[in-house]
């Protein structure tokens, strides 16, 4: 009986020992497996599946049979997408940006529609209807003006407004302007062509008095009437109009008129009749920019716009049946285009022998409106 009991105790003891050994082996295998998986960079989820899906003995034999892999110090090769993301992150961290490829943008020359249809942004100033606008001394080239106590007047369309401001400049009409001089060019360089001021001069008359028509009418009175007729047609078509001279006299020289238009209007059209001394009506034309000033700023950046606007206005006049002088342009170095930073042109609507009745002016105004619409793609 004692022997049997001792035997039973020994068997139970042996069984406990075997169980203990098995537990130790299981724990050791599990520890080795977890360590190995961690060293290889496997996730805990993968380790869990591997432990649950394999027998302990096979796992033990597998672990003992395999050589542990050496970890390389080199960074693993990334897929292309990952490389791009990594590079972007590194650039964000060091504050640099990836250089962008240069874009070659060719500005169109001459009478290009893409250039014509551009409207210059005037900033955030919202001018009221009939508001008087004076020269702001902070505006570029304002300090080149000698006469600037007067003001322009803003007229706003009452309906169908298109957001475009046309500067209409009735030529001449500044008392005392012929006795004052201003620089021909912003940089002080000399004129390259003749005109009301001779070539080679560095200063020009601030505002000339204009010529006298064959019937005795002054040019300044006719340009004002023309400006009024054109203003009304522009307003009816949805344009806002900056009347640079809204009465018989305005104390603004040619520089001041141009600078105000630069900062308030989208284009600048000055109205004139040519004092050529001829005894016949030679027709209309615009003053184009001569080659000699095309390299001078701001002319260099805007002369194609000036010429394109002039050509469009002449086309409009021609389509309206108006007489055109020659090819429709004459190249002269003007103060106006030398200071303009928006599309700008001097329109010569005839000479002293031209008919300037309201009927004729209305026809010419219709032609100018056609040209403006075409320039802005309307």
Exposed, middle or buried: residue 372 (CB in 10 Å: 0-12, 13-18, 19+)? buried
Checking if the pLDDT of 305 tops 60, the result is yes
Checking if the pLDDT of 7 tops 60, the result is no
- How far is 116 from 377, CA to CA, in rounded Å? 8
Do 292 and 332 form a contact (C-beta atoms < 8 A)?
A: no
Confidence of residue 125 (pLDDT cuts 50, 70, 90): confident
Pairing mode, if any, of strands 267-274 and 165-170?
Answer: parallel
- How far is 30 from 37, CA to CA, in rounded Å? 10
Among the ranges given (12-16, 192-196, 357-361), the one the predictor scored with the smallest mean pLDDT: 12-16
Do 147 and 181 form a contact (C-beta atoms < 8 A)?
A: no
Task: Please provide residue 24's backbone torsions phi and psi, each rounded to the nearest 5 degrees.
Answer: -60, -45
273-298, pLDDT tens digit by residue?
A: 999 999 999 999 999 999 999 999 99
User: What residue ranges in 18-159 does DSSP mark as E strands?
Assistant: 132-134, 151-155
- How far is 244 from 224, CA to CA, in rounded Å? 10
- How far is 375 from 377, CA to CA, in rounded Å? 6
| Mean pLDDT in residue range 328-350 | 98
| Mean pLDDT in residue range 152-166 | 97
Checking if the pLDDT of 71 tops 70, the result is no
Do 186 and 339 form a contact (C-beta atoms < 8 A)?
A: yes
Checking if the pLDDT of 96 tops 60, the result is no
Which of 60-69, 120-129, 314-323 tops mean pLDDT? 314-323
Q: 3-state class of 230 per DSSP?
A: helix
Task: Please provide residue 236's backbone torsions phi and psi, each rounded to the nearest 5 degrees.
Answer: -65, -25
- How far is 222 from 275, CA to CA, in rounded Å? 13
Token readout for 285 is 């034309």
Point out which residues pair with 170 in neighbouring strands: 271
Checking if the pLDDT of 363 tops 90, the result is yes
Among the ranges given (103-112, 211-220, 320-329), the one the predictor scored with the smallest mean pLDDT: 103-112
Task: Pick 15 or 356 by higher pLDDT.
Answer: 356
* pLDDT at position 90: 39
* pLDDT at position 140: 98
* pLDDT at position 374: 98
Question: What is the fold of 128-375?
Answer: Aminopeptidase (3.40.630)
Checking if the pLDDT of 330 tops 60, the result is yes
CB atoms within 10 A of CB 200: 11
Minimal CA–CA distance to 29: which of 63, 67, 69, 68?
63
Task: Pick 70 or 206 by higher pLDDT.
Answer: 206
> How high is the mean pLDDT of the chain?
80
233-244, pLDDT tens digit by residue?
A: 999 999 999 999
User: What residue ranges in the chain does DSSP mark as E strands?
Assistant: 132-134, 151-155, 165-170, 181-183, 203-205, 240-243, 267-274, 284-288, 324-331, 344-351
Half-sphere exposure of 274 (CA within 13 A, CB side): 24
- How far is 178 from 251, CA to CA, in rounded Å? 12
Point out which residues pair with 270 in neighbouring strands: 169, 346
Confidence of residue 57 (pLDDT cuts 50, 70, 90): very low
* pLDDT at position 79: 39
Residues in the chain: 378
* pLDDT at position 44: 41
Checking if the pLDDT of 175 tops 70, the result is yes
- How far is 334 from 64, CA to CA, in rounded Å? 96
* pLDDT at position 124: 66
DSSP3 helix / strand / coil % (the chain, rounded to 5): 40, 15, 45
Checking if the pLDDT of 103 tops 80, the result is no
* pLDDT at position 74: 37
CA angle 168, 173, 178 (to 5 degrees): 125
């Amino acid at each position: 009986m004692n022997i049997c009991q001792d035997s039973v105790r020994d068997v139970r003891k042996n069984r406990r020992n075997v169980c203990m050994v098995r537990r130790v082996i299981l724990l050791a295998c599990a520890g080795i497996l977890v360590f190995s998986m961690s060293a290889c960079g496997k996730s805990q989820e993968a380790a869990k599946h591997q432990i649950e899906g394999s027998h302990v003995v096979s796992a033990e034999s597998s672990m003992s049979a395999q050589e542990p892999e050496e970890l390389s110090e080199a960074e693993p090769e990334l897929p292309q997408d990952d490389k791009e993301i990594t590079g972007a992150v590194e650039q964000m961290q060091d504050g640099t940006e990836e250089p962008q490829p240069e874009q070659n943008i060719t500005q169109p020359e001459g009478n290009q529609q893409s250039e014509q249809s551009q409207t210059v942004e005037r900033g955030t100033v919202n001018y009221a209807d009939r508001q008087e606008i004076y020269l702001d001394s902070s505006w570029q080239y304002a300090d080149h003006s000698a006469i600037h106590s007067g003001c322009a007047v803003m007229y706003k369309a009452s309906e169908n407004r298109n957001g475009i401001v046309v500067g209409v400049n009735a030529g001449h009409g500044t008392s005392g302007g012929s006795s004052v001089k201003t620089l021909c060019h912003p940089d002080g360089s000399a004129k390259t062509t003749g005109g009301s001021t001779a070539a080679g001069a560095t200063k020009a008359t601030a505002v000339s008095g204009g010529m006298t028509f064959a019937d005795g009418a002054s040019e300044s009175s006719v340009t004002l009437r023309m400006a009024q007729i054109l203003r009304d047609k522009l307003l009816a078509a949805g344009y806002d109009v900056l009347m640079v001279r809204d009465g018989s006299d305005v104390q603004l020289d040619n520089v001041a008129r141009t600078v105000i238009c630069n900062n308030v209007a989208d284009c600048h059209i000055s109205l004139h009749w040519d004092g050529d001394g001829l005894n016949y009506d030679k027709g209309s034309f615009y003053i184009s920019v001569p080659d000699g000033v095309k390299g001078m700023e701001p002319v260099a950046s805007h002369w194609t716009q000036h010429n394109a606007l002039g050509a469009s206005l002449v086309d409009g006049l021609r389509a309206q049946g108006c007489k055109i002088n020659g090819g429709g342009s004459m190249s002269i170095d003007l103060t106006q285009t030398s200071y303009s930073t928006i599309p700008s042109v001097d329109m010569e609507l005839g000479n002293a022998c031209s008919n300037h009745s309201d009927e004729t002016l209305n026809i010419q105004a219709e032609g100018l409106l056609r040209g403006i619409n075409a320039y802005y793609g309307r």
